[in-house]
Structure 1
Amino acid sequence: MAKTFTHNISNSNVTNNFDNIMYDYASLISGAVSIIGCSLNLFLLCVLMSDKKFQAISYKLIRISVISDILSSLAIGIGYLLVSYEFTYDGGVILCRVVLFFTFTSNGVSMLNLCLIAIDRYYAILKPLYQGYHRRRKHIFFTSQILVWMIAAGYTGAIVPAIKVSHEDPTLCDLPDIATDNTIPIRMIIIVTLQYIVPCTSIAIIYFKIVSHQRNYVRPGENTFQNIENNKRKKKFINMLIAITLCYILITWPFNATLFGMSIVRKTAIQAILIYFYKIRSFRQIIHITKFQFYQECNFLS
């Protein structure tokens, strides 16, 4: 019996060592991916700041999303690259909380700003109450940014105190109290609601209204050739809006679905979430660049 017990302990140690090695390699790969994400972000930021015509509100909203992604990429990239160093338990807790605070806050800011971009486009194209909105546009922009950062930092700050680490590996972030603390699942559901459900639902509804408007709207005084060219441009515009919206919803769905699932089953899978979440951030920058090229071609931003 003692021999069997010793054999079980040995197998357990081998499994734990294998898991830790896999996590270390995955972390280093994610750290390398951060370089790609940061490079794409910095490129887009330089483009957005290279010309005075990029000072419109919509460009500023995109710029803020890019900056928040850069900050998040740096934080989580440095965090992943530090896993090779020895940390105490308290040091690991601080590292995980700092990295996750910047990561979750940045993701919330990006998603909420995408919602603000959709709202700004809605007023620019459909023009409901346009004069009143246009006069207060700058004031609305600054006020909305304060609210966006407060909301994102607020719900992130609510979950950060629950983040701890494994005693076996102080760089392995975890939510060990999720099964016993009834408030943790509630806080996670709030995060999913505010950073995914509300923005994505709003974006989908707004773009649907814009698409419906563009399909039915014909500029007065256009000749047949102008109508044909305008319809082609309109079709491209509609398809790109749909593609961009679907991309954002689909690439962020697994991350938020996992968070929601964790809150229901009350079991943690935080490392799988972080590795997936970080990898998709680099792909999100490709969508940013695609959007920028599309806006330029269609002269969409004003």
Structure 2
Amino acid sequence: MPSGTVMKNTHQDWRTSTPSTLCVLLYVFLGSLSVVTICGNLLVIISIIYFKQLHTPTNSLILSLAVADLLVGVVLFPFSMEFSISSCVFSENLLCKIRESFDITLCPASILNLCCISIDRYYAVCHPLTYRTKINVHVVVIMIMVSWSVSLLLTIGLAMAGLHQDKCQEECSIDLQLAIILGLLCSFYLPVILMLCIYLKIFLVAQRQVRSIQGTKSGATASKMERKATKTLATVMGVFLMCWTPFCLCFSFQLLNHVLSWLARSNSMLNPFIYAFFYSWFRSAFRMIISRKIFQEFLQP
């Protein structure tokens, strides 16, 4: 009997032997993650779009990040929820390949948007006098387009490598592994190294600024606001590292990918709550949206 048939039969036996209660609990838990991810990122998106006070370069990058995280919750979570329970054997199913394509596109897009946010914070804290000229609307649009374009190129590249492997079977396995390694380098390791270097530089500059402006009240207030914004976004990165590092390290060694991939995706759920925790104006915007006060002006005659 072919090995694929054995694996398929084993997979079917596993599904039929799984208690229905366990399946229900898994669906409820993973479905709850999806709902929380969608609602949290929708709050961020509506807040930034609706409130003019939030129309800033930094928040434009946060908006792009929230869109990527929202798509993770809308598209990727349902696919992954189904396959986490029913399992994709060697990605033979078309839906499995669709899920992988979304995974390869959306997760790097989220990571690269975080990288762009760290660059924005670098200029805001380290070069405050030239920040508005360096980081303007056009630059932010370019950064967002580059983030999404690189993610799409990674998806296309890995898809082509996979199709090439299907044609030549085992002889192309090395090419596919190299493509995966390069994908990890471009979408995780290099952005992480860049962000760590940037935030370390920001920390050192912020410490010098604190010592130099202690005597000026206005300068201290402005510096405090920038440090708070940087602290918030550094926390976003810290949570990102906590969620993604185990998966990427283990993926590099082919260990525990399936379980740890859910921890990685949970980063998209946690980001909106970090904004709400640190930013008072995001909390106010969220309260207005949840209480439906923003719709009252449209309902008034």
- TM-score, normalised via structure 2 length: 0.70
Work out the CA distance in 1 between the residues paired with 2:142 and 2:220.
Answer: 41
Q: Secondary structure at the match of 2:108?
A: helix
Work out the CA distance in 2 between the residues paired with 1:179 and 1:286.
Answer: 47
Number of the residue aligned with 2:115:
115
The answer to whether the Cα contact below 8 Å between 2:101 and 2:155 also exists between their aligned partners in 1 is yes
The answer to whether the Cα contact below 8 Å between 1:192 and 1:259 also exists between their aligned partners in 2 is no
Q: Give how far 1:122 is off.
A: 1.5
Residue 186 of structure 1 aligns with an amino acid whose one-letter code is L
CA 55–294 in structure 1, closer or farther in 2 if over 3 Å, else same: closer
Number of the residue aligned with 1:286:
273
Residue 194 of structure 2 aligns with an amino acid whose one-letter code is S
Number of the residue aligned with 1:210:
202
1:156-203, Cα deviation, whole Å (9 max, x unpaired): 222245679xxxxxxxxxxxx799611222122122212221222222
Q: Give how far 1:99 is off.
A: 2.0
Q: Give how far 1:63 is off.
A: 0.4
Number of the residue aligned with 2:155:
156
Work out the CA distance in 1 between the residues paired with 2:81 and 2:222.
Answer: 50
Residue 277 of structure 2 aligns with an amino acid whose one-letter code is T
Number of the residue aligned with 1:40:
40
The answer to whether the Cα contact below 8 Å between 1:104 and 1:152 also exists between their aligned partners in 2 is yes
Q: Give how far 1:58 is off.
A: 0.7
Number of the residue aligned with 1:167:
none
Pick from 248, 272, 282 the counterpart of residue 259 of structure 2. 272
Q: Which stretch of structure 1 is more off in the superposition, 17-26 or 210-219?
A: 17-26
CA 199–282 in structure 1, closer or farther in 2 if over 3 Å, else same: same
Pick from 17, 37, 41 the counterpart of residue 14 of structure 2. 17
Work out the CA distance in 2 between the residues paired with 1:191 and 1:143.
Answer: 21
CA 104–129 in structure 1, closer or farther in 2 if over 3 Å, else same: farther
Pick from 237, 248, 253 the counterpart of residue 245 of structure 1. 237
Number of the residue aligned with 1:145:
144
Q: Give how far 1:278 is off.
A: 3.3
CA 27–199 in structure 1, closer or farther in 2 if over 3 Å, else same: farther
Number of the residue aligned with 2:246:
254
Long gaps (5+) in structure 1: 1-8, 165-176, 263-267, 298-302
Number of the residue aligned with 2:290:
none
The answer to whether the Cα contact below 8 Å between 2:276 and 2:282 also exists between their aligned partners in 1 is no
Work out the CA distance in 2 between the residues paired with 1:156 and 1:35.
Answer: 26
The alignment of Structure 1 onto Structure 2 pairs a total of residues equal to 267
The answer to whether the Cα contact below 8 Å between 1:159 and 1:187 also exists between their aligned partners in 2 is yes
Q: Does 1:75 align with 2:75?
A: yes
Work out the CA distance in 2 between the residues paired with 1:110 and 1:71.
Answer: 10
Number of the residue aligned with 1:222:
216
Residue 219 of structure 1 aligns with an amino acid whose one-letter code is I
The answer to whether the Cα contact below 8 Å between 2:124 and 2:226 also exists between their aligned partners in 1 is no
Q: Does 1:199 align with 2:198?
A: no
1:114-172, Cα deviation, whole Å (9 max, x unpaired): 111111122122228827x71672222222222211111111222245679xxxxxxxx
The answer to whether the Cα contact below 8 Å between 1:111 and 1:199 also exists between their aligned partners in 2 is yes
CA 121–270 in structure 1, closer or farther in 2 if over 3 Å, else same: closer
Work out the CA distance in 2 between the residues paired with 1:94 and 1:189.
Answer: 24
The answer to whether the Cα contact below 8 Å between 2:243 and 2:266 also exists between their aligned partners in 1 is no
Of Structure 1 and Structure 2, which has the larger fraction of its residues in helix?
2
1:195-221, Cα deviation, whole Å (9 max, x unpaired): 221222222211222221121113386
Residue 34 of structure 2 aligns with an amino acid whose one-letter code is S
Q: Give how far 1:14 is off.
A: 9.0
Q: Give how far 1:238 is off.
A: 7.1
CA RMSD of aligned residues (A): 4.3
Q: Does 1:187 align with 2:179?
A: yes
Long gaps (5+) in structure 2: 1-5, 164-168, 285-301
The answer to whether the Cα contact below 8 Å between 1:108 and 1:195 also exists between their aligned partners in 2 is yes
